[in-house]
Amino acid sequence: MAGTNLSDLKAYLAENPGVVIEDVAQDRGVTPRVVIEALPSAMVKLREGGSFAEAMQDIARWGEVTLIIHTADAIFEFTGPIPDGELGRGYFNLMQPKGLHGHLRHDRCAAIAFVERPFMGKSSAFVAFLNVDGGVMFKVFVGRDETRALHQDQLERFRALAERIGPVPANS
């Protein structure tokens, strides 16, 4: 953690929990995982990455969500249902011919973070798939209704999934 004091980061995030995780990571010279883990503990449940397929298969039943991929060069957003997927040939394959589809390197998922926090003045809830390098593979946000409130049925599924998946083993 070059140049960043963990207690300072935790204090900053306690005061500013709705900041953009990737921006804070870049500014502080740490990984996004370090930032997520420094959020107030009531906002984050860190779970075992080996449950990638189980999590994605559950999310495929939530309905319309927003998937975000945030890189140094772009922020890609897809709003719609996540397609069913299955393991094959070393990937978790999203099984849909059009719309969102692709091949995900599930074996690089070291942890799954379930985060509930304020963002831009509203409650938000997302699942962040964290890779072995401490980066965010992608995030899946609980959907919103026409009033911009979180879909309560999805929020319940989000919380149930967070409880079902085992915690990250010690020393991970």
Contacts 24+ apart (CB under 8 A), 147-152: 148/122, 150/123, 150/124, 150/125, 151/63
Encode pLDDT of 93-121 as tens digits: 998 888 899 999 999 999 999 999 999 88
* Overall fold of domain 44-164: Heme iron utilization protein-like fold (3.40.1570)
Give the integer Cα–Cα distance in Å for 47 and 121: 27
d(CA 92, CA 56): 9
* Residue boundaries of the structural domains of the chain: 44-164
Q: Extract long-range pairs of 88-96: CB within 8 Å, 24+ residues apart.
A: 92/52, 92/53, 92/56
CA distance 47 to 44: 10
Note down pLDDT in tens along the chain; length 172 residues.
445 689 999 999 999 999 999 999 999 999 999 999 999 999 999 999 999 999 999 999 999 999 999 998 999 999 999 999 999 999 999 988 888 999 999 999 999 999 999 998 889 999 999 999 999 999 999 999 999 999 999 999 999 999 999 888 766 5
